[in-house]
Amino acid sequence: MSNKVIHAFYNDDDILMDAVKKVKSANHHIEEVFCPFPVHGLDKALGLAPTRLAITAFMYGVTGLGVAIWMTNYMMIQDWPQDIGGKPNFSWWLNMPAFVPIMFELTVFFAAHLMVITFYMRSRIWPFKKAENPDPRTTDDHFLMEIPVHNNEEELTSLLKETGAVEINVVEKH
């Protein structure tokens, strides 16, 4: 079995979106689309499942809030209680309004930092990893649609020409 793929280049995101819809409606599988910037609606046009990263962000925020509550209770109430401005030092609940900025900051801190780590792990972007884009133009001003070839090279090429591709290459994928 051959590992041939067709690389179809586009220079406009609207033309790319129309092309993705036409290729999908012709029952061809699109392996990947490389873009220099996010294209709104491309995930739905490709039929990708919605992301669950928002759920993890919420869980990371709740974890940060829990750490903030534990930390302020331990530091300010149990370990080293101090009378600051006449505030009672025996109850976390009575002092809670003074701890709101700490709780907010740690909630945001945990959510932001753990989301960056999760995004990199989920995207498999490791330090010093070699770029996987097949053409450097996809980081500047071109969009690339990668479609596997299954003995239908002529049909795919003519379909992609109809969709407005500015360049079509058949390459061996390694």
Residue 114 CB burial class (10 angstroms; 0-12, 13-18, ≥19): middle
pTM: 0.71
Q: Is the pLDDT of residue 48 over 70?
A: yes
* C-alpha distances out from residue 144 to 63, 106, 161, Å: 40, 41, 14
Closest CA to 173 of 137, 135, 143: 135
The per-residue pLDDT for range 52-71, each reduced to its tens digit, is: 889 999 999 999 999 999 99
